Amino acid sequence: SQTIHQWPATLVQPVGSPLSLECTVEGTSNPNLYWYRQAAGRGLQLLFYSIGIDQISSEVPQNLSASRPQDRQFILSSKKLLLSDSGFYLCARQDLYGYTFGSGTRLTVV
Amino acid sequence: RKEVEQDPGPFNVPEGATVAFNCTYSNSASQSFFWYRQDCRKEPKLLMSVYSSGNEDGRFTAQLNRASQYISLLIRDSKLSDSATYLCVVRRNAGNMLTFGGGTRLMVKP
């Protein structure tokens, strides 16, 4: 099984509050993992990717960060959320035919 | 210019109609191509890979034109359940990164 777990499913946070979204994966060890954001009515934007423990690459400069403390755990964080951070956050793992996505977290910053 | 471009639609078609989507990509060294489907407020899921010779999966046919750098998806005998956003996806030549188009929204009406 190449299951991806993401939680929470929905989140409402005030501006300036911290954020921590967790993604855990099952299946093949040492997967390539990705964080994407999809703003309302927009396409998928790659935020971070990781090829292994503590190996994180950022695609877009912003007030978000990512960490991979364990092989199957990928965390997206922010110290202070902005209104523009609202969106649908998706964790993905690479597999043979592309990516498999988690069910996502819908974040609303108010 | 975006790396992967799609007409956002929406395409409104009656049940039973045939509908086609096109997608263009800018990186001539792109190696792999996919169509993903995304239902409203859900994660994207792989619909089909696109092979150089073209490929068919039931009512769905995908084609690739490397010379013109475009990919197409044809849906025959549209069903209500085909209503979704269809994402054109390209794998970069370096590494295994996928780049997503903004998606084309299809609405099949009774």
Distance (Å) from the alpha carbon of A43 to chain B's nearest alpha carbon: 4
Contact between B49 and A106 using a beta-carbon 8 Å cutoff: no
Range B48-63 average pLDDT: 93
In one letter, which amino acid is A89?
Answer: Y
The pLDDT value given to residue A11: 96
Q: How far apart are CA B9 and CA A31, in angstroms?
A: 35
The pLDDT value given to residue A27: 85
pLDDT for A83 beyond 70: yes
How much of chain B exceeds pLDDT 70, in percent? 96
Choice between A2 and A103, residue whose per-residue pLDDT is larger: A103
The pLDDT value given to residue A98: 84
pLDDT for B66 beyond 80: yes
pLDDT for A1 beyond 60: no
CA distances from B81 to B37, B62, B101, B108 (A): 12, 19, 22, 8
In one letter, which amino acid is B94?
Answer: A
CA distances from A12 to A19, A79, A104, B26 (A): 10, 15, 14, 37
pLDDT band at A43 (very low <50, low <70, confident <90, very high): confident
Contact between A101 and B44 using a beta-carbon 8 Å cutoff: yes
Range A17-39 average pLDDT: 93
Q: How far apart are CA A49 and CA A36, in angstroms?
A: 9
Query: What phi-psi label fits residue B54: left (phi over 0), alpha (psi between -120 and 50 degrees) or beta?
Result: left
Contact between B34 and A32 using a beta-carbon 8 Å cutoff: no
Contact between A43 and B101 using a beta-carbon 8 Å cutoff: yes
pLDDT in tens, A57-80: 988 767 899 999 999 999 999 999
Q: A52 and A67 in contact (C-beta within 8 Å)?
A: no
> What is the average pLDDT value for chain B, to the nearest integer?
92
The pLDDT value given to residue B93: 62
Considering only CB atoms, B96 lies closest to which of A32, A88, A104, namely A32
Contact between A98 and B42 using a beta-carbon 8 Å cutoff: no
The pLDDT value given to residue B53: 87
CA distances from B43 to A36, A52, A85, B18 (A): 11, 24, 18, 25
Contacts of A43 in chain B (CB under 8 A): 87, 100-103
Q: Where are the alpha helices (DSSP H) in chain B?
A: none
The pLDDT value given to residue A35: 95
pLDDT for A32 beyond 60: yes
A-interface mutation test, from B43, B45, B104, most A Cβ less than 10 A away: B43
Contacts of A44 in chain B (CB under 8 A): 44, 87, 100
pLDDT for B37 beyond 90: yes
pLDDT for B89 beyond 90: yes
The pLDDT value given to residue A2: 64
> What is the average pLDDT value for chain A, to the nearest integer?
92
Q: Which residue has the tokens 């991979």?
A: A68
**Residue B13: its H or E element:** strand B11-14
Chain A residue set in contact with B, beta carbons under 8 Å: 32, 36, 42-44, 46, 49, 88, 90, 94, 97-104, 106
Q: A44 and B100 in contact (C-beta within 8 Å)?
A: yes
DSSP string spanning A31-83? --EEEEEE-TT--EEEEEEEEETTEEEESS-SSEEEEEEETTEEEEEESS--G
Contacts of A58 in chain B (CB under 8 A): none
Choice between B41 and A40, residue whose per-residue pLDDT is larger: B41
Collapsing DSSP states into helix, strand and coil, what is residue A88? strand
Considering only CB atoms, A90 lies closest to which of B43, B89, B102, namely B43
Strand B4-6: give its sheet, edge to edge.
B4-6, B19-25, B70-75, B60-65, B55-57
- Out of A43-52, B69-78, B85-94, B97-106, give the one with best mean pLDDT: B69-78
